[in-house]
Structure 1
């Protein structure tokens, strides 16, 4: 069975792009780079469904240009195989899943069926965490609206671009009422942390209603000291339509 690429889908939705929009953006990126490609909606669908686990190099470079993320962070199997070249010099087709690619996680308990959105955790959530800044001698609140997509017991979260200048990603696994995983935040180039990239681990407890997850994050600071603090995800909307995402593509209020 193929494994859907929920990461790529979440990134696309976080950019407020339909599959047609994504295909168009990839073609335009190829034109700008002098590497024309024939991306279309069907190809984007095949990537997201997992029918094609690795894009050709020309598409990989266009994907990186459009999303601003390395291809390894877009949910594709690695390593990405090189495109086959025929005798007439034309490129080959997208590769099928390679035996040497990264295998998706299997097994494990299913998530608690009392999710926020009809038995799953799909939808828009408010991500909110606290951190201490030694340079500013104070505690601060980081907030993002994130798109959460669930496949099996795996949850992928990507922040909406208008909710913060510092994009946030989370890759999680639900084990009954406990969610464990990793987070990455790319700080704003013109912000206090000057484009620094931070990452770490997170564990959350899902409340019985399925509408809130709360717990702790851990990560390294600038001086390689281990920092930690509270983190919560609060359910906002089960819809992931373009109109709903546009509604939440804004800065969250500073008060809970």
Structure 2
């Protein structure tokens, strides 16, 4: 008997994605990260049905990038096994249910980040400033975000209850330098009527490793290039369900 992965299905549906949409997004995420994968609708179906209980690491990283959630919150065990070899000695897409039914134990609690190497996974407060030409004032955007680190890459996604808009970032670490892109989907009933904005960002990690600060670039309504300060402030190293629920609120 297999147990359906209802968590993954719920997250997919919450993102308003079909199984085909999720597979396509996983392939795109793999390409962006330099780790191409062969995600397909059939593979997503096998995950959701429980026929496959653990994705390969390349798929786990893509799933975290697309959903912005730790792999253990998607109905999979953590840590994800590093490899799988099938009975005939060939590599498989993923790990099928084991005969013992025992899943790997959860990893130990993470420590606070080090400026030189991290880990940076956890909950951070995102704060940026922007000038609204239509209102003639400077505003501050605040989100609690989940940061997930895979080697030198950071994926960032806002917690839904922390703001009416959805914020995502795709970042690359090079020592203390952080470079990447950001996207924000504004609220459909807000001032910007659901407009989607995106741009570039470059930041520096402070020696404490508890603050990452820099500047964003983006375009305005008249296609002028705008800029402003942006910072991430460390809040908690855990990405447990209880921690995410604690910060799923307005800052």
Q: Which residue of 1 aligns with 2:8?
A: 22
The alignment partner of 2:148 has SS state of strand
- How far apart are 1:201 and its partner, in Å? 0.3
Q: Which residue of 1 aligns with 2:245?
A: 246
CA distance, structure 1, for counterparts of residue 13 and residue 220 of structure 2:
39
After TM superposition, the structure 1 = structure 2 runs for residues 1-256 of structure 1, keeping only pairs within 5 Å, are: 20-23=6-9, 37=45, 39-40=48-49, 43=52, 45-46=54-55, 49-50=57-58, 114-115=114-115, 119-252=118-251
- Count of paired positions: 177
CA 40–26 in structure 1, closer or farther in 2 if over 3 Å, else same? farther
CA 185–24 in structure 1, closer or farther in 2 if over 3 Å, else same? closer
CA 227–53 in structure 1, closer or farther in 2 if over 3 Å, else same? closer
CA distance, structure 2, for counterparts of residue 219 and residue 197 of structure 1:
11
- How far apart are 1:124 and its partner, in Å? 0.2
Could you state the TM-score of these two structures normalised by the residue count of structure 1? Answer: 0.61
Q: Which consecutive unaligned segments of at least 5 residues does structure 2 have?
A: 20-40, 68-91, 94-112
- How far apart are 1:25 and its partner, in Å? 5.6
- How far apart are 1:213 and its partner, in Å? 0.5
Could you state the TM-score of these two structures normalised by the residue count of structure 2? Answer: 0.62
The alignment partner of 1:244 has SS state of helix
- How far apart are 1:50 and its partner, in Å? 2.1
- How far apart are 1:20 and its partner, in Å? 4.5
Quote the RMSD (CA, aligned, Å).
Answer: 3.4
- How far apart are 1:46 and its partner, in Å? 1.1
The alignment partner of 2:189 has SS state of coil
CA distance, structure 1, for counterparts of residue 164 and residue 246 of structure 2:
17
CA distance, structure 2, for counterparts of residue 138 and residue 131 of structure 1:
9
Q: Which deviates more from structure 2 when the two are superposed, residues 118-127 or residues 217-226?
A: 118-127
CA 24–143 in structure 1, closer or farther in 2 if over 3 Å, else same? closer
CA distance, structure 2, for counterparts of residue 51 and residue 138 of structure 1:
43
Contact 2:115/2:205 (CA < 8 Å) preserved in 1?
Answer: no
The alignment partner of 1:50 has SS state of helix
CA distance, structure 2, for counterparts of residue 250 and residue 230 of structure 1:
23
